Structure 1
Amino acid sequence: MIYRKLILTRANCHIIKIEAAVVDTMITQDGERIAYYHLLGRKPCIMFCGGFMSDMTGTRSMALEKFARKRGQAFTRFDYRGHGQSSGLFCEGNISKWKKDAITVLDSLTSGPVVLVGSSMGGWIALLIALARPERIVGIVGVAAAPDFTEDLMWAKFEENIRHTLVTEGVYLENSDSFDEPYIITMDLIEDGRNHLIMREPIQIKAPVRLLHGMRDTSVPYQLSIILADRLESEDVQVHLVKDGGHRLLNDSDLTLLMRATSDLLEV
């Protein structure tokens, strides 16, 4: 694993900010500005939860919006704090804060039944939302869902010198296969993630779940979706593996699979 040390400064924390037009914003109870777009339509609402270092203007999110608009379906996308056009610094974020942002969006912008679509880290966030608001969530689609990734895909796989850097300096940069910029990993992210681990026991989610995963994913092993399917208490869980698919699953056939899985849950 290749890594580089980083001296933590507020200037460095801005490395992953992406410029895009702000559609609308809300202010959280702790004063953060969350950027979002909400499309009115029939229920269930589709709510998209993006991945680590991603924003709400990505290919998958925009394809889902087009899909929802064509159906007349309600749709919501947003940026976590420290991502995209929301306020805050990425390196000051963690799973607790991003989960809180997602639940704030759910509670403030949507009503009635919701189908969550979560990409990578967003799959973990979607599962945490479903555990927190089980009465609202009628379906979950995970695309390369990465529950517990801070512990199992980061800390557990880090070499000892990387762990030492995190413990002593609080942060390091890891090269990414999915982004031009390196991942900013903080010790706070690792420690906070331990408060939200869900893969150690049965996951008390009863809603239908569809898990899509590329078998050539080098960031989140596809076997994780199979294990997740077994952990979920729901009896309506399907895993769709794409043999030649990587982590991002963004070609036309991948997006068609995503829309089919989402449509399936909207009709349940």
Structure 2
Amino acid sequence: MSSGIEFAKDGHVARVKLNNPKALNAISPEMDDALLAAWTEIDADPGIWVAVLSASPGKAFCAGADVSAGTDRDGRMALGGGLTGVGGPQYHLRTPLIAAVHGYVIGGGFELAMCADVIVAADDAQFFIPEVKAGIIGEAGIIHRAVRQLPHHVAMGMILTGERLPAAKAGQYGLVNEVVGAGELDAAADRWAAKILAGAPAAVRAAKDAALRGLGMPLDQALTTRYEPIEAYAGTKDQLEGVAAFAGKRKPVWTGR
């Protein structure tokens, strides 16, 4: 991976870390290239069952796009290696993603965190949408995600005032799954990864696919739609193993096949 992104595989877990602390872990075009390469490799590797996104220690998880590195993105991809869908084509990550956030979670960095399936936050995390306070407004992706992932008036209050949402409140409003001490953030992310790894990997991916695709449909359509990953899972070794383990009152042993 290029400078600014660390990528490693740890058993069935892929670890992706933003490492641009001098710029509050803001994402440069080069970092976007590396992130897209990471997401693509993660989805293509059958041995990776869950991914964890974190950032190097410091004041911020991520301050959005690194404007000091240049603003011309050449239409290559959306911010966050394509995850946000802002500034270019969106990449739909099939693998479950956990975001472990700390400090300032600002603008596009806030949006990147909301692209994750699970968010764990250090107790010093502060989420905010600062555009109006700076007298600017551009791509509105963060706004559309905020009003979908927070109570309406909480989101609108943040959007219209630029006020910060502390981690404790984010937990109360359901924006994050867990709030922990800063020194416990990595361990909390690992606990959530272990919970996800306890499920059959193909079933987990199929569940994610159906949940997210169904969000864009009326309920009656979502209920009657056939989801290819769910259908493809039927009759697999892991599906049969789940049935056998349940019947035998034992823990299943997943192979990803």
TM-score by length of 2: 0.38
Higher normalized strand content (fraction of residues): 1
Higher normalized helix content (fraction of residues): 2
Higher Rg: 2
